[in-house]
Amino acid sequence: MAPLLRYAMALAMASQLVLSQRIEVECTPSKKCPDSKPCCSQYGQCGVGAYCLGGCDPKSSTTVDACVPAPVCQSKTFKWDNLDSVAPNTKYLGDASKADWVASGQPLTTGGNLLLTMAPETVGTLLASNHYMWYGKTTARLKTSRGKGVVTAFILLSDVKDEVDFEWIGSNLQDVETNYYFQGITDYSNGDTFKTEDTFNNFHLYEIDWTPEAVKWSIDGKVVRTLERKSTFNATTDQYNYPQSPSRVQLSLWPGGLPSNGEGTIEWAGGLVNWEHPDITNHGYYYATFDEVTIECYDPPANADIKGDTSYIFKDASGTEDTVQMTNKKTVLKSFLGTGVNMTADYPSKSSSSSSSKSPAESSDVAVIPGLTGGGPGTNGQRESEGKNNKDGDGGDGGDDGDGSPTNDWDRPATTGFTQGNVDGPGDSNGASSQNEQMLRGSLFAGLVALTVLVTL
Ligand SMILES: *[C@@H]1O[C@H](CO)[C@@H](O)[C@H](O)[C@H]1NC(C)=O
Ligand SMILES: *[C@@H]1O[C@H](CO)[C@@H](O)[C@H](O)[C@H]1NC(C)=O
């Protein structure tokens, strides 16, 4: 009780930074985004700009092509001597040749390793690969975080919410959870847990090997689980409930044990996060440590619709493998005002006096960066201004403002601009809760870090 109270008080003290209202899921396949903000983010919110980049859900956006084409797979090994290959989500406009990863939260490097950190009053850190993988193999050598309610994840997640997971609950360092989803459909029989040794103190090598026929999960070079596509056939819907669409690799550390999360999620995560854990008192944050990460691309499926080699698009909103096309379409927005249907949309001329002191994000009247606050007052139902929270007060990092100020992109605490998923469904604050909670518990949103902490004091 006491820690919970303390945490609640901490949140209350941070209340200027937090809206005491729930952020609801705005868009679903049956309730698509409006034309004015056509892109449905990974977190179920409508906007433009980064909402239309990685994670943009073609099933719930105004039209499928509101989402910007997704950069095709690129085989690569990632080391972490620096964060040069990681762009903050406030800067990334879709050029995967310039940044391999897009991040929210606070990634750090130490001794050639990547640290995902989670400080008090934050919701941790998420890295997502900017190149999508349409079948391939990804490996990560990592040490998890630890502690109740602290979740480390290494997953594949597609824009239509196909998902293949490795997850670790910080209160149980011997267990490795594996799971998969087809288009986010909850199915409790999909999860399976395996034993290993002390995931916090030891590096282990985790691998997801994903082909059109099967997914194989390996630990330290040994296959522990195989999922055959043919075993996933659903006769009612006449389709394979098998992960089959281009996916981003996501590395994350997030608080499953936040009071604002659903009870099921908290229980799954091993309880509420203790913000006075030794890792917090000694380092200031929880952390997960990633050594080398690799992505190895496989060929697209044999019958794939190949019209180019630059990007993946969906031809319709069914989101299945046969509706994916490889194209030469570009993937880069000119500004955070762009969308897949107007990629050259740009900010109003900089000479206009009133906007000169504002970041592009702030001068926009629609939300441009999911889960972030930089959308400016009132734009996203979120907290007021990124600037308030930015020590050097440069008013946020949106876009290519090119002001040359020596800002540290990671200086910005993730604080309350993000949280772990939504608990409420669209237009339904009662009946849908438990279902959505189940989705959360089932980790549909594993590795998703978004929106505002839901303060339910
Ligand atoms: C098949 O899909 C239907 C409709 O989504 C669902 O109700 C049913 O439970 C599924 N069957 C299996 C075996 O998963
Ligand atoms: C794209 O957006 C710009 C605003 O930046 C607008 O002037 C232009 O008309 C738009 N183009 C289309 C095709 O909608």
Distances, alpha carbon 41 to alpha carbons 44, 50, 68, 396, 429, in Å: 5, 8, 12, 21, 20
Domain assignment present for residue 338? The answer is no
Burial code (b: 16+ CB inside 10 Å, e: under 16) for 277-301 equals bebbeeeebbbbbbbbbbbbbbebb
Decide: 345 in ligand 2 pocket, CB within 6 A.
Answer: yes
Catalytic machinery residues: 163, 167
Domain assignment present for residue 30? The answer is no
On whether the CB atoms of residues 230 and 244 are closer than 8 A, the answer is: no
Ordered strands of the 311-314 beta sheet: 70-71, 311-314, 324-327, 305-306
* Predicted local distance difference test score (pLDDT) of residue 188: 85
Ligand nearest to the Cα of 238, by number: 1
For residue 348, what pLDDT band results from cuts at 50, 70 and 90?
Answer: confident
Q: Which of 342, 344, 352 to mutate to test the pocket of ligand 2 (most atoms within 8 A of CB)?
A: 342
* Predicted local distance difference test score (pLDDT) of residue 372: 52
Domain assignment present for residue 363? The answer is no
Domain assignment present for residue 92? The answer is yes
Domain assignment present for residue 446? The answer is no
For ligand 1, atom 7, name the residue with the nearest CA. 236
Domain assignment present for residue 435? The answer is no
* Predicted local distance difference test score (pLDDT) of residue 232: 97
* Predicted local distance difference test score (pLDDT) of residue 451: 30
pLDDT in tens, 219-230: 999 999 999 999
pLDDT in tens, 121-163: 899 999 999 999 999 999 999 999 999 999 999 999 999 999 9
* Predicted local distance difference test score (pLDDT) of residue 370: 84
Give distance in angstroms: CA of 155 to centre of ligand 1: 24
Ligand nearest to the Cα of 188, by number: 1
Q: How many independent structural domains does the chain possess?
A: 1
pLDDT in tens, 164-190: 999 999 999 999 999 999 999 988 899
Task: Give me the CATH number covering residue 261.
Answer: 2.60.120.200
* Predicted local distance difference test score (pLDDT) of residue 317: 96
Q: Which of 180, 183, 234 to mutate to test the pocket of ligand 1 (most atoms within 8 A of CB)?
A: 234
pLDDT in tens, 42-61: 889 999 999 999 999 999 99
Pocket residues: Cβ below 6 A from ligand 1: 234, 236-237
Domain assignment present for residue 324? The answer is no
Does position 402 have pLDDT exceeding 60, yes or no?
A: no
The three-class DSSP label of residue 39 is strand
Residue 333, C-beta contacts closer than 8 angstroms, at least 6 positions apart: 49, 52, 53, 68, 93, 94, 339, 343, 345
Decide: 220 in ligand 2 pocket, CB within 6 A.
Answer: no
Q: Give me the domain span that covers residue 97.
A: 70-305
* Predicted local distance difference test score (pLDDT) of residue 16: 23
Q: How much is the mean pLDDT over the chain?
A: 79
Q: Which of 189, 236, 238, 239 to mutate to test the pocket of ligand 1 (most atoms within 8 A of CB)?
A: 236
Decide: 346 in ligand 2 pocket, CB within 6 A.
Answer: yes
pLDDT in tens, 235-272: 999 999 999 999 999 999 999 999 988 899 999 999 99
* Predicted local distance difference test score (pLDDT) of residue 351: 55
Q: For 331-342, give the DSSP string.
A: ---SSTT-BTTB
Report CA torsion sign: 48, 445, 305, 294. positive
Domain assignment present for residue 180? The answer is yes
pLDDT in tens, 276-315: 999 999 999 999 999 999 999 999 999 999 999 999 999 9
Does position 418 have pLDDT exceeding 80, yes or no?
A: no
* Predicted local distance difference test score (pLDDT) of residue 356: 46
